[in-house]
Amino acid sequence: MSQRELKEAFVSNLNGTSLGEVSLGSVLAPLCLISRGLLLVLYYLGKGVLPFSWKIHLLMDFTILILPLVLSCTILSDFLSVVILSLVAINTSLLFHVYHRKKHSAGVPLQDVFKNFLQIKLETNRIPFVSVFRVLVNVKTAISILAVDFSVFPRRYAKAETYGTGVMDFGVGAYILANSLVCPEARRKEAYVSKISYVTKQLLSVWPLVLLGMARLISLKVTGYHEHVTEYGVHWNFFFTLAIVRVVASIVLALFPVNRSWVLALVIGGLYQATLEMTELKSFIIHNSDRMGGFLSANKEGVFSVIGYIAIYLAGVQVGLYVMQSRTLVKDWIKAICNLLLGSFGLFAILYVCQTFVDPVSRRMANLSFCVWTVAQSLFFLSCLGIADIVLVFSKSLANCTLISSSWNQIQNAKPETLSVEKRYKMEGFCLIQAVNRNQLLFFLLANVLTGFTNAIVDTVNCTDLYSVCVLLCYMFINCFIVFILHLKEITAKFW
């Protein structure tokens, strides 16, 4: 067996993991965010000096936010629950210290502290946990696309062959939903232009994705790089899926009311599932191994799964519309986050019915169960990040500290000091999350290029666990370092 065949077999014929393990993994990143914020708040209470140098902030963010994500899907994957419980205990202890070292509200009963906290007004020009959601989906995707080629990455986390719920299966759907959360329709920006000009603009805007898809296709064929054909097909790849979904969804939303996009998602997902069940389409996608019957036969997974991804995108637009509603008070955001969490639980209940009576989750077909699972899991992850943001707001209000990047700030009644504004701006400029957020597509492209380069020079399948983790950490640090430097220089790599 050649090296290429060995690597293809290594990522094929897998069955995924449990729904519970995927959900448990979604709790880790929010806990890391809380740890980072609380440590900065405690340092501020002790020293009163922030920010650090950009090198320290980069190292700190990488160590607290990226390192745990790499370790959790490699050498610590079997101890994930222990890691999470440990972080919960650590964060609880840190929050306890913040409360007892608070600069304001001394002697005020805890009940009154919470009552005052609920009435705090937050900045309305941004929603930090939405940006963090998009960044972390990108980061986790970057880690997984290389880690899956190493034996230290659990096979249950990789994409399932036909049916199953692998961590990487969720990552694909979450990437689509992350884009839809902040699309022009979700932000109601399409209302200011005509429908025809808007759709035309969307058609033109996806040319970089088409170009990247073509570049990936050509590079794979020229270099003989290993391919998991049943993932998307012979010629198809995820860049093409992103482009088609964006364009088709824009056309659909130009014809139908945007605030009913959840109905469109349900109709499209339901009709697609009905077609799978009532025709030979399911058999054609799963069992027909003929790749020589034309473009459709060669790329059946990529072509037909687009339908399911469009449904996910439309559902994400509905979520985006809800999240982007104007809210100011902390209590209003807590209510919104609770509603997102309840929505997640409701969809998980629907998922149980779909898997029991209709069809199990299949990323390969992007069937109805996969769509429901993706939205349910995304809402859960988004809720966890929202809760983390609320915890950070609480700790910042106790310490009267506004110098924590990528989190909400309280609206001050008095005019903020110029020095404080400058420091906050500098903190955002030294933030790894903001760096990735500025150049998300570039970060994703860099990850793909470096994944190919790493596979070309490293025998990923036969590496020791320690060496594999070191390679993954170096790979992620290079990715992060490049976008961080661009962010420091205020460079946005967008030319379309």
How would you write the chain as a 3-class SS string? Answer: CCHHHHHHHHCCCCCEECHHHHHHHHHHHHHHHHHHHHHHHHHHHHHCCCCCCHHHHHHHHHHHHHHHHHHHCCCCHHHHHHHHHHHHHHHHHHHHHHHHCCCCCCCCCHHHHHHHHHCCEECCCCCHHHHHHHHHHHHHHHHHHHHCCCCCCCHHHCCCCCCCECHHHHHHHHHHHHHHHCCCCCCCCHHHCCHHHHHHHHHHHCHHHHHHHHHHHHHHHHHCCCCCHHHHCCCCCHHHHHHHHHHHHHHHHHHCCHHHHHHHHHHHHHHHHHHHHHCCHHHHHHCCCCCCCCHHHHCHHHHHHHHHHHHHHHHHHHHHHHHCCCCCEHHHHHHHHHHHHHHHHHHHHHHHHHHHHCCCCCCCCCCHHHHHHHHHHHHHHHHHHHHHHHHHHHHHHHHCCCCCCCCCCECCCCCCCHHHHHHHHHHHHCCHHHHHHHCHHHHHHHHHHHHHHHHHHCCHHHCCHHHHHHHHHHHHHHHHHHHHHHHHCCCCCCCC
Cis ω on the peptide bond leading into residue 257 (within 30° of 0)?
Answer: no
Cα–Cα distance between 351 and 22 in angstroms, integer? 14
Rounded to 5 degrees, what are φ and ψ at 417? Answer: -70, 145
Cα–Cα distance between 307 and 275 in angstroms, integer? 11
Global pTM reads: 0.95
Length of the chain: 496
Q: Mean pLDDT by 10-residue block, N- to C-terminus, for the chain (496 residues)?
A: 76 91 96 96 86 93 97 96 97 93 67 88 90 97 96 95 95 96 84 70 85 91 82 92 94 91 96 96 88 87 96 97 93 97 98 96 96 98 97 92 87 57 82 96 95 92 94 98 96 74
At 272 the pLDDT is: 97
Q: For residue 122, what are the β-bridge partners? A: 410
Answer yes or no: are the C-beta atoms of 376 and 408 closer than 8 Å.
no
At 1 the pLDDT is: 61
The encoded tokens of residue 184 equal 């022009």
At 49 the pLDDT is: 79
Q: Residues 221-242, buried b or exposed e (16+ Cβ, 10 A)?
A: eeeeebbbebbbbbbbbbbbbb
At 11 the pLDDT is: 84
Of 78, 75, 85, which Cα lies nearest the Cα of 27?
A: 85
Rounded to 5 degrees, what are φ and ψ at 122? Answer: -105, 155
At 401 the pLDDT is: 85
Answer yes or no: are the C-beta atoms of 410 and 121 closer than 8 Å.
yes
Answer yes or no: are the C-beta atoms of 302 and 365 closer than 8 Å.
no
Answer yes or no: are the C-beta atoms of 447 and 483 closer than 8 Å.
no
At 420 the pLDDT is: 66
At 410 the pLDDT is: 84
Query: How many C-beta atoms surround the C-beta of residue 460 within 10 A?
Result: 24
Contacts of 49 (CB under 8 A, 6+ apart): 43
At 193 the pLDDT is: 61
